[in-house]
Amino acid sequence: MPELPEVELVKRDLSAVEGLTVDEVTVSDYVTSGHEAGRKTIIKQPVPLFVGEMTGAEIIKVGRRGKYLYFILKKFEETYYLMSHLGMSGGYFHVRSFNDIQELNYRKHWQVQFTLSDGTFLVYSDIRRFGEMQVVPSFSAFLPLSAMAPEYTDAASREYFLHQLSKDKYQNKQIKAVIMDAGVIPGVGNIYASESLYSAGILPSRKVRYISKARLNTLFDEIVNVFELSLLNGGSTISDYRSLSGSSGKMQDRFNVYQKKTCPKGHEIKTKIIAGRNTFYCTRCQK
């Protein structure tokens, strides 16, 4: 699943479509048949409404909030937004022709194609189809953003993180689950939760109430460090993340514990399901 650094890298690549207008929208048979069956596959609103809103819209800017991408759109002097979440395996490809998408699986599982005013195509592919797209009139009309903590790059984010963790509702929860809550800090998924907790020396199963403020402060630093290191390494290509050009990141070569047998100090890595996902940790380095 793409986490914050991977989504940020997609956002940076998507600056290539800023200033272009969507001439045409095509949706896949998967999307059409899903909607006919009442499942709202990928597009979380009626497909004709989505197509109508997107067709003729100029893409002013592409941004990111947490793991959501947003496209600022303009048509008839009206500004509105396309919100997009990559789910487990979503990816955007900006190509001159559809067959320029290198991997067969991504060609086979294209879901939405935007024909752009310069003749290029912006193709959204999603093998597992957990991704989401929705056109909304404003950010405030989009609920997932309303309770989201500040971005880690925001000056207020550390204080906010520590303040949230001091609240009663988090005291008896395991720290791994809490840092994966976008209301505490946005964008930490299963991989970077394991990695940042290892670097901070904190067991993922440790309840928040038993972790000192100083250690939580260190954890915030380590989340920032792992995000920044991942950005420098082009993200992690563990399962399904691809950049817009289809290339792979190298962050997976820098992991200390995720999918490892031993930690950097040579201790055996343990695994356990925590917060619903397989978690990697070292009981000698983490307390």
Give catalytic residue positions.
Answer: 2-3, 67, 277
Q: Does residue number 285 form part of the binding site for Zn ion (CB under 5 A)? A: yes
C-alpha–C-alpha distance, residues 173 and 194, integer Å: 16
The interface region with Zn ion, picked from 49-57, 75-83, 177-185, 279-287 by CB under 5 A, is 279-287
Q: Does residue number 265 form part of the binding site for Zn ion (CB under 5 A)? A: yes
The interface region with Zn ion, picked from 37-45, 114-122, 232-240, 262-270 by CB under 5 A, is 262-270
Q: Does residue number 267 form part of the binding site for Zn ion (CB under 5 A)? A: yes
Between 143 and 261, CB nearer to Zn ion = 261
Between 111 and 256, CB nearer to Zn ion = 256
Q: Which two tokens stand for residue 202?
A: 């904190």
Between 122 and 203, CB nearer to Zn ion = 203
Q: Does residue number 284 form part of the binding site for Zn ion (CB under 5 A)? A: yes
Here's the x/- map for Zn ion, 23-42, by CB under 5 A: it reads as --------------------
Residue with tokens 């189809």: 129
Q: What is the DSSP code string of the chain?
A: ---HHHHHHHHHHGGGGTT-BEEEEEE-HHHHHHHHTT---SBSS-HHHHHHHHTT-EEEEEEEETTEEEEEEEETTEEEEEEEE-TTTEEEEEESSGGG---HHHHHTEEEEEEETTS-EEEEEESS---EEEEESSGGG-GGGTTPPPPTTSTTHHHHHHHHHTSHHHHTSBHHHHHT-TTTSTT--HHHHHHHHHHHT--TT-BGGGS-HHHHHHHHHHHHHHHHHHHHTT---SSS---TTS----GGGG-SSTT-SB-TTSPBPEEEEETTEEEEE-TTT--
Binds Zn ion by CB under 5 A, chosen from 10, 193, 219, 282:
282
Between 261 and 265, CB nearer to Zn ion = 265
List, in sequence order, every residue forming a beta bridge with 69; answer none if it has no partner.
Answer: 64, 84
The interface region with Zn ion, picked from 68-76, 79-87, 258-266, 272-280 by CB under 5 A, is 258-266
C-alpha–C-alpha distance, residues 179 and 189, integer Å: 8
Q: Does residue number 263 form part of the binding site for Zn ion (CB under 5 A)? A: yes
CB of 269 to Zn ion, least distance (A): 8
Between 108 and 284, CB nearer to Zn ion = 284
Q: Does residue number 200 form part of the binding site for Zn ion (CB under 5 A)? A: no
Number of residues that bind Zn ion (CB under 5 A): 6
Here's the x/- map for Zn ion, 152-181, by CB under 5 A: it reads as ------------------------------
CB of 265 to Zn ion, least distance (A): 4
Between 85 and 176, CB nearer to Zn ion = 176
